[in-house]
Structure 1
Amino acid sequence: MVHEKPFLSDPPKAEQPRPAAAATLLALMHAQGEVERLSEREQLLSSLLVSVNAVLWAIDWETRRVLYVSPAYERIFGRSAGLLLADYREWRNSIHPEDLDYAEHSLARVLDHSAVEDREYRIITADGQIRWLSDKCYINQQVEPGEPVIVVGMAEDITEKKQMELELHRLATTDVLTQSSNRRHFFECANQAFDSACAQGAPLAFLLLDIDDFKDVNDTYGHLEGDQVLRRIAESGRGVLRRGDLFGRIGGEEFAAVLPGCPPEMALQVAERLGKEIQALNFSYEGRAFTVTVSQGLASLTEEDSTLDSLFARADAAMYEAKRQGKNRVIAG
């Protein structure tokens, strides 16, 4: 009997994997793929969070524990995210003192409305810069009884937008030459002060002043020197008047002031001091020195004044009376 020998070149037959082992191998390969895809998603999310120029945050409302804050926090606030995660007061302490009450109360409104989208307040960065934030916040889910209330939000740096808004407001309300309130803005504020004084029964004074012989100044020294006179008088007005008083340029060489809470005797003292300050201003053109004076009309609020117009009319009449009596004086009407 002859036994056939296998050819030496024939490879040994591989043992086929058992069904259970094959299933395990497939499961491991699937799990590895899921891990890789999860890692890719995490890397993408991390990249997106780094690039977003807004602070994403989440806080446990009951404990005030900050659960998450995005990388933009350190870029915008200039403060350590680790310190904030350790102590909620880091956020509170960064808010501008004048805006702190508003920021806290507006945040609390999210409990009643589920969302607050109109919060704007200022922060002070670690290096002392003042920045504006638009901070929208929401309750992130329907909270079941016993579950913590998680508030999430997005704080966006709107400093450049605010600066533009403030500049546009300044241009719309300010006399470009003297940097005082322009006529429209002055009378808007004056009417508000008038209504407030009437409602509270508080004193109010209206002062009107006109530069004496201003046409001669322009004709003799030129309009550039006349502009300098207007600027210097506006500076004197802002320097003499009290905080809370209104001052504006309402005509070519005519200025006005409203003095809230100022009784007649005090208003007269303010007007006289302003007149003296203006008369003491020294001007010079091509070696020639000159000074200017103003005629002022003063009117104080009475029960007969139903509108600001009546107060203005009395001040205007008193100012022209000052002109007739020789200029450089205050007449109370």
Structure 2
Amino acid sequence: MINLEQMDLILEALPDPAFILSRSGKYVAVFGGRDTRYYHDGTGLIGLYISDVIKPEKANWFLEQIDKALESRKLLVEEYELSNRDVKGLDDDGPKDPIWFEGRIQALSFLVDGEEVVLWVASNISERHLLEGKLRELSDTDQLTGLFNRRKLEHDLTLHYESFVRYSLPTSIFIFDLDNLKKINDTKGHLAGDEIIQAVANICRSAIRKADTACRFGGDEFVIAMPNTGLEQAMQLAERLHDRFRQELNRFSVEDTVVTASIGVTTMMPEDRSYEDTLKRADRALYEAKSMGKDRIVPA
């Protein structure tokens, strides 16, 4: 059998810190945290309250999680970040980049000084969180251009459509493809075609706003989604982009063959049942632009 002295040694040896916290946010006890790569000695927190250490908005979040764990009596697992913006007294020398933690919070079956308490075990998951972010970025990115891919576009358009239905926030879309790229590929090879596609991606990146989503939809077809943007404003951006394509893609011309872009533009409408209806309407406008002789913009 393990005696109390041995149990104390075991608790102190825990790699992750374990806090006993009261409902009011008082640090009743601190155990472990012996992985010095990630943690400092937390014993100085004993007797303080979360609100003494953490700024109000984040402190309230911690208290909400304590309440949830006490009410449910079940294990609560939450991921959260802490940085110098959250911790009092760290304005100058606190961590500039957020540190991510996984908190495992469990109500305990006894009172301390008449208050309910929880066990809160905090594990530093910053490396895992960074890796997960990189993997998400890779899964959302087109390898050739560095633009977003179709998967990311569909995710964003789903959210934009929900905002349109709920709050009438407009989202406009334009879809375009490159005129005469096949002839360039046939004449100069697919590496030349890839260079053109990369040049188009760079033009898109420099022309759109941070809130917009530029996506390589497939082959030489691209889609740009513009939240909080009506058709008139979208047409203005399409015209600026179209002009830049004419100017900057001219260097890829072969004999009398010039790479240009045909663009279809639309915005979400009340009759759209999903973002796919909007996208199909933009695609029909693109088809019309091609049938009218290419190198033009058609609204729908």
User: Is residue 2:117 matched to residue 1:156?
Assistant: no
Residue identity in the other structure for 1:277: R
User: Is residue 2:210 matched to residue 1:243?
Assistant: yes
Aligned residues: 285
**Pairing of 1:13-32 with structure 2 (within 5 A):** none
Residue 80 of structure 2 aligns with which residue? 121
SS in 2 for 1:105: helix
SS in 1 for 2:270: coil
Point out where structure 2 has 5 or more consecutive residues left out of the alignment.
85-93
Pick from 111, 124, 127 the counterpart of residue 70 of structure 2. Answer: 111
Residue 59 of structure 1 aligns with which residue? 21
Task: Between 207-216 and 299-308, report the one with greater CA deviation.
Answer: 299-308
Residue 88 of structure 2 aligns with which residue? none
**Does the aligned pair in 2 maintain the 1:206–1:315 contact within 8 Å?**
yes
For 1:108-165, what per-residue CA distance to the aligned partner results, in whole angstroms no more than 9, with x for missing partners?
Answer: 3123213442210122374434332110112222449x71222221111222332333
Residue 281 of structure 2 aligns with which residue? 314
Task: Between 160-169 and 248-257, report the one with greater CA deviation.
Answer: 160-169
User: Is residue 2:265 matched to residue 1:298?
Assistant: yes
**Measured at CA, do residues 221 and 67 of structure 1 come closer, stay the same or move farther in structure 2, by a change above 3 Å?**
farther
**Measured at CA, do residues 276 and 283 of structure 1 come closer, stay the same or move farther in structure 2, by a change above 3 Å?**
closer
SS in 1 for 2:36: helix
**Does the aligned pair in 2 maintain the 1:74–1:80 contact within 8 Å?**
no
Residue identity in the other structure for 2:220: E
- Superposition RMSD on alpha carbons, in Å? 3.4
Instruction: Give me the whole-angstrom Cα distance separating, in 1, the residues matched to 2:241 and 2:15.
Output: 50
**Does the aligned pair in 2 maintain the 1:83–1:90 contact within 8 Å?**
no
Residue 101 of structure 2 aligns with which residue? 133
SS in 2 for 1:205: strand
Deviation at 1:235?
A: 3.2
Instruction: Give me the whole-angstrom Cα distance separating, in 1, the residues matched to 2:63 and 2:213.
Output: 32
Residue 272 of structure 1 aligns with which residue? 239
Deviation at 1:101?
A: 6.2
Pick from 278, 281, 295 the counterpart of residue 248 of structure 2. Answer: 281
**Measured at CA, do residues 89 and 303 of structure 1 come closer, stay the same or move farther in structure 2, by a change above 3 Å?**
closer
Point out where structure 1 has 5 or more consecutive residues left out of the alignment.
1-36
Residue 49 of structure 1 aligns with which residue? 12
**Measured at CA, do residues 76 and 67 of structure 1 come closer, stay the same or move farther in structure 2, by a change above 3 Å?**
farther
Residue identity in the other structure for 2:12: L
User: Is residue 2:29 matched to residue 1:68?
Assistant: yes
Bigger fraction of residues in helix: 1
Instruction: Give me the whole-angstrom Cα distance separating, in 1, the residues matched to 2:274 and 2:202.
Output: 29
**Measured at CA, do residues 69 and 201 of structure 1 come closer, stay the same or move farther in structure 2, by a change above 3 Å?**
same
SS in 2 for 1:119: strand
Instruction: Give me the whole-angstrom Cα distance separating, in 2, the residues matched to 1:258 and 1:132.
Output: 31
TM-score (norm 2): 0.78
For 1:29-76, what per-residue CA distance to the aligned partner results, in whole angstroms no more than 9, with x for missing partners?
Answer: xxxxxxxx765x26xx436633x33111112333x3312223427836
Instruction: Give me the whole-angstrom Cα distance separating, in 2, the residues matched to 1:210 and 1:114.
Output: 57
Instruction: Give me the whole-angstrom Cα distance separating, in 2, the residues matched to 1:47 and 1:301.
Output: 61
User: Is residue 2:136 matched to residue 1:169?
Assistant: yes
Instruction: Give me the whole-angstrom Cα distance separating, in 1, the residues matched to 2:250 and 2:97.
Output: 39
Higher RCO, 1 or 2 (CA under 8 Å, sep at least 6)? 2
Residue identity in the other structure for 1:317: R
**Measured at CA, do residues 280 and 141 of structure 1 come closer, stay the same or move farther in structure 2, by a change above 3 Å?**
farther
SS in 1 for 2:241: helix
- Percent identity over the alignment is 24
